[in-house]
């Protein structure tokens, strides 16, 4: 069984170094690093590595995580035609022995398999917690409707027990996601226009809509050394321009996940998201402005806005909503 690892990086050489070293210690056939125009010495460090399994692709501009994964998955499949490709950001990495555990497990009936992603101190990494789409499963829908919120459809902690067995899920993140050759052929590549956030959610939901099966394997363990923080009402994004992609792409993902329930759900989402402004302190008004533009683009399905434009509308002095 041939397994290739794909890592997308941008200006985080410290985290990338640890990830690459961890990957090269695993039984992998190829490690492909996609360098998103880093300017912190990443290219120089990568060029000094001697392991022949390491392949580096460098972009002359930052394509974002979505663009990086799209390019890297396409290149990895052409270079080696692997049975499985495992994807991760530069701050996500397998725990020692994880790839061997994956090789030894039974893959029968699964088209993609998500690893259990933990923080460096061993806690469940909330931003990588898989879920079963409540709009597709009655039990999860009723539990969520009863007031449990995301706890109604995200996997619970007990699912992370190493003897829990592989569970069927609908969404897994791009940290420790193993994608089979069959899934890649059927679903193609992630949508590069998303730039960051939601590309993994939309890609795995697309797999499920194509009839493919995604499993969660708690015995395959990854570490996510993320610096993202939590405010009183959820994730606080820095730099603040990231909020545009988070909420625009979330609306696009909700439309796919919710189907006919999407439009009744929109007012609930907007009320919830506007409340997050308080977590941004003196940047609250900036957040509200970015959110308004993100919502408008998300509802209309606009994915063509350039990253330069997103940076412009996120500046403190910007006060006019762009077309």
What pLDDT digit, counting tens, does each position of 193-229 carry? 999 999 999 999 999 999 999 999 999 999 999 876 5
Q: What is the pLDDT of residue 264?
A: 96
- The reported pTM is 0.93
The 3-state DSSP composition of the chain as helix, strand, coil percent (nearest 5) reads 45, 20, 35
**CATH 3.90.550.60 segments of the chain:** 3-224
Q: Tell me the CATH number for domain 3-224.
A: 3.90.550.60
Angle between helices 262-274 and 242-258 (to 10 degrees): 150
Q: Which residue has the tokens 């590595």?
A: 49
Burial class (CB in 10 A: 0-12, 13-18, 19+), 31: buried
Q: What is the pLDDT of residue 148?
A: 72
Q: Note whether 96 and 25 are within 8 A (CB).
A: yes
């Amino acid at each position: 069984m041939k397994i290739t690892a794909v890592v997308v990086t941008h200006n985080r050489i410290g985290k990338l170094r640890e990830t690459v070293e961890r990957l090269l210690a695993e039984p992998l056939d190829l490690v492909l690093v996609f360098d998103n125009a880093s300017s912190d010495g990443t290219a120089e460090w990568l060029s000094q590595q001697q392991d022949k399994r390491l392949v580096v692709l460098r972009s002359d501009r930052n394509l974002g995580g979505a663009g990086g994964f799209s390019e890297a998955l396409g290149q990895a499949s052409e270079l080696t035609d692997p049975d499985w490709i495992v994807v991760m950001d530069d701050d996500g990495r397998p725990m020692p022995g994880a790839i061997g555990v994956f090789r030894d497990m039974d893959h029968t009936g699964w088209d993609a398999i998500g690893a259990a992603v933990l923080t460096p101190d061993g806690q469940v990494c909330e931003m990588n917690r898989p879920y079963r789409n409540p709009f597709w499963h009655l039990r999860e829908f009723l539990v969520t409707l009863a007031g449990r919120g995301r706890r109604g459809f995200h996997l619970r902690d007990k699912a992370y027990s190493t003897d829990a067995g592989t569970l069927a899920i609908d969404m897994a993140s791009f940290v420790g996601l193993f994608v089979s050759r069959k899934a890649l052929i059927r679903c193609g590549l992630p949508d590069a226009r998303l730039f960051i956030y939601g590309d993994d959610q939309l890609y795995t939901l697309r797999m499920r809509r194509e009839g493919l099966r995604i499993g969660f394997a708690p015995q395959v363990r990854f570490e996510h050394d993320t610096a993202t923080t939590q405010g009183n009402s959820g994730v606080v994004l820095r730099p603040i321009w990231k909020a545009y992609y988070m909420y625009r792409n979330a609306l696009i993902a909700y439309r796919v996940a919710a189907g006919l329930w999407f439009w009744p759900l929109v007012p609930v989402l907007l009320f919830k998201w506007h409340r997050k402004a308080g977590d941004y302190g003196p940047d609250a008004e900036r957040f509200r402005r970015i959110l308004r533009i993100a919502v408008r683009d998300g509802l209309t399905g606009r994915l063509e806005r350039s990253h330069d434009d997103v940076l412009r509308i996120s500046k403190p002095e910007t006060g006019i909503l762009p077309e």
